[in-house]
Structure 1
Amino acid sequence: MSTGQDRTLNKLQYSLLGDPALALNLPTFDVVIDSINGLPVEGNKDIVLKAGSVAHVKGRVTRQKETFAGFNGQMTATVRDTRELVTCKKQDETSNTAFQYYDRQKVLFNGSDSVRNGEFQFTFAVPYDINYASGNGLINVYAVSDDHTQLAHGAEDRFFIYGSETVRNDSIGPSIYCYLNTPSFVDGGMSTPRLIRSQRHGQG
């Protein structure tokens, strides 16, 4: 392609899609969710997450379907609610109906944890503002090694989200701690205006 002489759409495609000689940096390893709340995901149709409950998820990074014990790094998990019907604004004057599609609009949890010897686990509290419609949830996991040279990803939807957990009446509020600059700050010490706050509650 000669610079300044190509009047076709070719150079526009080159700008949009990038250099075709460069390979995309796609994950080369897989992430598998093994169990949710101690129940194996494989072949199990009875895993239900309810609003107000606490979910404990275990998984691993695999290479050729075997646990990749040499993978150490960080993973990020996103848990999404059941699918719901989304109706778009009717902006197409040629159509009598608005366009509709299904999407998972509610994110129930998004957090990170460490991966050690190819294995990981994380715990989260299921919020009360779920869809309350029986359906499959979705867990997406993305992991990167400590040296940022290895990537892994995976998803799991073989579990349900609906209903509410019977939670005991909790009269104890959360514990909230505030510090200036550092948790080791002592009264009367020198400090920057940086505020640090931590909180903890038994119900998550």
Structure 2
Amino acid sequence: MKLAFAEPNINLTKINDVPLAQVTDTLKALSYVKMAGEVTDLSGNLLSNYNGTVSTTIYDKNIERQTLANDGTRLNGELVKLDFSTLGEIIFRGQASVKNGEFEFDFIVPKDVGIPVGVGKVSFYSKDEALESNQAGASIGTVKIGGLNEDAPVDNTGPVISLYMNDENFVSGGITNESPTLLAIMEDENGINTASGVGHDIVAILDGDETNPVVLNDYYQTGVDDYKTGILSYPFRDLEPGLHTLTLKAWDVYNNSAVSEIQFIVYDKDEALVINNVLNYPNPFVNYTEFWFNHNSSDPLDVSIQIFTVSGKLVRTLNGQTATGFNVTSSLSRDIVWDGRDDFGDKIGKGVYIYKLKVHSNLLNKTVEKIEKLVIL
């Protein structure tokens, strides 16, 4: 099969509102930068009907490296080591909307960029779903990076981090499959650091194993047109059944850190049907409530909820089914909603009620029940 190469071309046109041909600004550490660009055809004409999203990656100056000579090759008795250059660290990875072929984005340069001034690289990739067209481009040898912005505002607050497994419905302590995806949603006034300064990587520690940290810089990307927020998505593979604790540490571009932790239970495929974290939300409620629970089944489950008065009178029965597959949802079900009415459609009175959640697996021919309370205001 042939590789699907993107078409040229995406061009960087302005830095800080100054045309590229006139630009003298250097991207200094902790400085605010705004860049603009355009999507063109092969002749350089603006594609004014192009609307989509552009992903931008900005690299710090090239890094000079040397091979390790670990193959043992010798020349005149000396181990052969070769010098080579690689791209610098990624100082920004973000997304911007393209409207009528033009786009712009902004960010704060991380404190961890190399201080000596040199030339970096800007790489673009864009897609327009309506035109079914992908474009690519780069700016090489035009963007200077280095130095420090001495007038940068003070920032002593680390980022806000929210962790989930598989999707944003996940509740810490819930059940996942054996290969869950970590989702980290982050927000910071000045942006998240991905420049790989010493000790400033985005790092995940699973079950306290600090000798095998997972470096996640390359999995983070900002929101569209918003460098202050972003999301990180990382797939784990073949985790052992049982309880796991994951700790994630991230830094903002000022090198302020924050730590967040989440727990999850990897279900055992050979274990019987299990449900936990049974609740209804909101509770207490006035007009409606959703019934939530975690389960360990990747197959659909039949769900029944019976609502009783405290004296034992049945007032409402709700039936439903969970979605299928961990690739569609996490193991959290929140598909059943109740409007506070009985089986005859009448609004029931305020007070405390009991509900019985019954979950049945046709595959395992197993049924699990839980009993909880709810309050109507």
TM-score, length basis structure 1: 0.72
Q: Distance in 2 between matches of 1:79 and 1:137?
A: 7
Whichever of the two has the greater Rg, that structure is 2
Please list every run of 5 or more consecutive structure 2 residues that lacks an aligned counterpart in the other structure: 173-182, 192-227, 229-377
**Paired AA for residue 38 in structure 2:** R
Alignment of 1:157-196 (within 5 A): 157=140, 158-168=142-152, 170=154, 173=157, 176=160, 193=171
Q: Distance in 1 between matches of 2:9 and 2:105?
A: 18
TM-aligned CA distance change 1:86 to 1:62, over 3 Å = same
**Paired AA for residue 115 in structure 1:** V
Q: Displacement, 1:75?
A: 0.9
Give yes or no for contact 2:58–2:121 (8 Å, CA) kept in 1. Answer: yes
1:48 alignment partner in structure 2: 26
1:98 alignment partner in structure 2: 81
1:136 alignment partner in structure 2: 119
Flag the structure with more relative contact order, 1 or 2, with Cα contacts below 8 A and sequence separation at least 6. 1
Q: Displacement, 1:52?
A: 0.8
Offset from partner CA, 1:66-125 (integer Å, 9 cap, x none): 110111111110000111211110232337341110111311111112211111111121
Match of 1:156 among 139, 155, 172: 139
TM-aligned CA distance change 1:142 to 1:164, over 3 Å = same
**Paired AA for residue 201 in structure 1:** E
Q: Distance in 1 between matches of 2:186 and 2:54?
A: 23
TM-aligned CA distance change 1:105 to 1:179, over 3 Å = closer
Higher mean C-alpha displacement, 24-33 vs 68-77: 24-33
1:199 alignment partner in structure 2: 187
TM-aligned CA distance change 1:75 to 1:169, over 3 Å = closer
**Paired AA for residue 130 in structure 1:** V
Percent of aligned pairs with the same amino acid: 21
**Paired AA for residue 167 in structure 1:** D
Please list every run of 5 or more consecutive structure 1 residues that lacks an aligned counterpart in the other structure: 1-17, 183-190
1:5 alignment partner in structure 2: none
Deviating above 4 A after TM superposition, structure 1's stretches of 4 or more consecutive aligned residues are: 174-182, 194-198
The aligned length equals 174
Q: Displacement, 1:200?
A: 3.4
TM-aligned CA distance change 1:67 to 1:179, over 3 Å = same
Q: Distance in 2 between matches of 1:74 and 1:112?
A: 7
Pick the structure with more strand per residue: 2
Q: Distance in 1 between matches of 2:147 and 2:6?
A: 35
TM-aligned CA distance change 1:25 to 1:175, over 3 Å = closer
